[in-house]
Amino acid sequence: MADAVSIFMSVGLSEQKAKETLKNEALSSTFKKAIEQAQGLLGSASIDKTAGTLLYNMVTRLKDYNRLSFLTKYIVTRKITSELQLSAALDFIKSHPQENMDRLEFEAACGVGVMVTPEQIEDVVELIIRKHKDQLLAERYRFNMGILMGEARTALKWADGKMVKNEVDMQVLHFLGPKTEADLEKKPKVYFYCLDALSKVSGLGKSLMEQLRGEALKFHKPGENYKTEGYVVTSNTMNLLKKHLEETGGQVRSRFPPEPNGILHIGHAKAINFNFGFAKANNGICFLRYDDTNPEKEEEKYFTAIKEMVEWLGYKPFSVTHASDHFQLLYDLAVDLICRGHAYMCHQRGEELKGHNIPPSPWRERPVEESLLLFDRMRKGMFAEGEVTLRMKMVMEDGKMDPVAYRIKYTPHHRTGDTWCIYPTYDYTHCLCDSIENITHSLCTKEFQSRRSSYFWLCNALDLYCPVQWEYGRLNLTYTVVSKRKIIKLVETGIVRDWDDPRLFTLTALRRRGFPSQAINNFCARVGVTVAQTTMEPHLLESCVREVLNDTAPRAMAILEPLKVTITNLPTNKEVRVPDFPANEAKGSHVVPFSKTIFIEQSDFREVMEKGYKRLTPDQPVGLRHAGYVISVQRVIKDGCGKVCELEVTCASSDSVEKPKAFIHWVSDPLRCEVRLYERLFLHKNPEDPAEVPAGFLSDINPNSLTGIECALVDHSVGKAKVFDKFQFERVGYFSLDPDSTSEKLVFNRTVTLKEDPGKM
């Protein structure tokens, strides 16, 4: 070990790096081989640090070790002298796996023999600064200098990066002069978010489409899978990619692959926007594919609800497919996998296979013929559940060895009935269905990163077209749970009514509560396309909801806690025209009756005047919104318990009296309705965290999460509303018509409250 450390240090590695390299047996062995080859070429001369670093970087990234001596020679003979050239060389080798590679084409691709002089760098930088002259003068040192560097590096691909940067810095200083005090002041932050996630941009923010379009994500282009870091190139890769391009025409293809065993939640909204949005932004197509490989948990209602929610968010699948569409082909491929020696039949029990430190299977080297026979018997139902599985011979990135490909389940399948009693697992099915459907970009959340190696391995083991898996961060919300198992617990214990209870954050629940799909898409755009897991507060989602509803929900007047008011001097009953959108009356209006008997909110009257209170008291009049009247209290009527039950007032035209301090809403000849007010379901931010809630999430329920008001009053303008129609009840909040509504009784859910008004007391 000491000798190896010394060898590695002799070519420029630090002692710590040398010791770390030795921990990886395959890497250290290849690195030693490269050093030996280099020393054979140099003779008595030593390997300098630059060449040593390039050799190390080469062996860490090289997939085809048949090219080791080829690249080593280019490095030690100083034909490849920079990291940029090395990257270009590795990319070229990836895309040209054939043996008889054109050396001249290779050398041109990685800049061998290209010399960039200081004069050339100076001339190019001068042209770029001249191009951006006006913006540089306007923004001075707040200009994004990365633009200059980027254009310079593009024009001078093989130039030394430090020389280019020094030249840019020097010419900018010469052009603008030294920094002034104004240049040194901190630039104020600009806050933004999208108002229309699919097309509009607000301020400096990018819409979701812009975030997902073209080069924004640095994803590979269709057919250039091999350029992706970690992608495994085989001798047949380029032929498979060529065939893939012929079948797809170079079209971007993605898919959204939910399991049909539960209702989609807010986290899935990001996945839907990402998968369908990425395809849409790049003129591609997206499949909705049900991963229906576990018949024990799948129900028709989940299939229907998933498609409904995808379409509710505004996306139309190119095609709706199922993993079960390919059950026969998947089985045939499993047989092929066994024949190739990459899979075997195993009798270890399920409990033995749990965790990561599972004992090696004693059946791993079972003869191919024996595994084929047992797999056929397994297919014919000759074993009990759990008695035998088909396992793949590979190690996953998280260290898990030989994942299961097929298991037995004697449960009829939703689509195939009793045709099959063996079902493929996610690890086996997912990548193969992606390959079958010619998916270009397999987008999934970060927890599936540990399965990326098995994804590439399986496609290559079967010599099939291999898509590229890309991971992004999950979207989580505080004050909620989204686990299917935990939501079922909430339903079974009667805490919530069903999966669409408006206190949950399933998509069906959010729709029922009145959240517009556009607001959810806007929220996903605000969160952005992140690799890191994101945990957001519910009020950020509610903010997106308010902005959409403010522009789309017509106004109505509703009273939640009615107080009867009799206007003793109103000459005659009349009708009042109320604008649907007071800020833009051109968008329409509706008519409501105005009679001697009206109802106001109990909180809009106080018998005893308090400092700062601006609404109705015996000594203080108040205006009635839209009616053109100001009312004054003449008599307060109380019931037997001393509670105020009615007011007698007089009215005067608002033109004839002093302007009151406040205007309140009211209803006359109203409809009776039920109103449901919702608060957070849980008391703590993280109800699943034992540190916050030691007794478990079921102990953290907010007792005030639902308040029902049976006898609320609302004006007649909402009388013909349809389920999920949305309104702003003036001064109260945003509400949506619930599916429980009948022709005799309307039921409204409060979607969100209005923005806080500091002037309202």
Nearest in space to 255 (alpha carbons), one of 213, 302, 289: 289
Spatial separation of the C-alpha atoms in residues 86 and 111, rounded to whole Å: 10
Which one is catalytic: 122, 126, 139, 259?
A: 259
Nearest 5°: phi and psi at 460?
-75, -35
Whose tokens are 């000798």? That residue is 3
Spatial separation of the C-alpha atoms in residues 667 and 657, rounded to whole Å: 23
- Provide the token pair at 203: 């301020």
How is residue 243 annotated by DSSP?
H
Which one is catalytic: 474, 606, 661, 680?
A: 474
Distances (CA, A) of 478 to 501, 537, 705, 752: 17, 6, 15, 17
Spatial separation of the C-alpha atoms in residues 391 and 405, rounded to whole Å: 5
- State the Cα torsion 635-638-643-645 to the nearest 10°: -80
- Provide the token pair at 336: 């092929």
Give residues with Cβ within 8 angstroms of 350, minimum separation 6. Answer: 386
Spatial separation of the C-alpha atoms in residues 698 and 294, rounded to whole Å: 28
Nearest in space to 172 (alpha carbons), one of 183, 182, 181, 188: 183
Residue 714's DSSP bridge partners are 558, 671
In the residue annotation, 259 being an active-site residue is answered as: yes
Which one is catalytic: 484, 486, 596, 680?
A: 484
Spatial separation of the C-alpha atoms in residues 193 and 634, rounded to whole Å: 50
Spatial separation of the C-alpha atoms in residues 227 and 90, rounded to whole Å: 9
In the residue annotation, 474 being an active-site residue is answered as: yes
Q: How many CB atoms lie within 10 A of CB 722?
A: 7
Give residues with Cβ within 8 angstroms of 611, minimum separation 6. Answer: none
Spatial separation of the C-alpha atoms in residues 374 and 338, rounded to whole Å: 11
Task: Give the helix/strand (H/E) hosting 358.
Answer: none
- Provide the token pair at 107: 């050398």
Residues in the chain: 761
How is residue 393 annotated by DSSP?
S
Spatial separation of the C-alpha atoms in residues 148 and 176, rounded to whole Å: 14
Q: How many CB atoms lie within 10 A of CB 177?
A: 10
Spatial separation of the C-alpha atoms in residues 748 and 761, rounded to whole Å: 25
CB 234 within 8 A of CB 97: yes
**3-state class of 667 per DSSP?**
strand
Nearest 5°: phi and psi at 226?
-65, -15
CB 536 within 8 A of CB 746: no
Question: Which stretches of 319-397 are DSSP H helices?
Answer: 327-339, 368-379
- Provide the token pair at 540: 């950020």
Q: Where are the beta strands (DSSP E) in 187-339?
A: 253-256, 285-290, 319-322
> What single-letter amino acid sits at 589?
S
Q: How many CB atoms lie within 10 A of CB 113?
A: 8
The residues carrying an active-site annotation are: 259, 474, 484
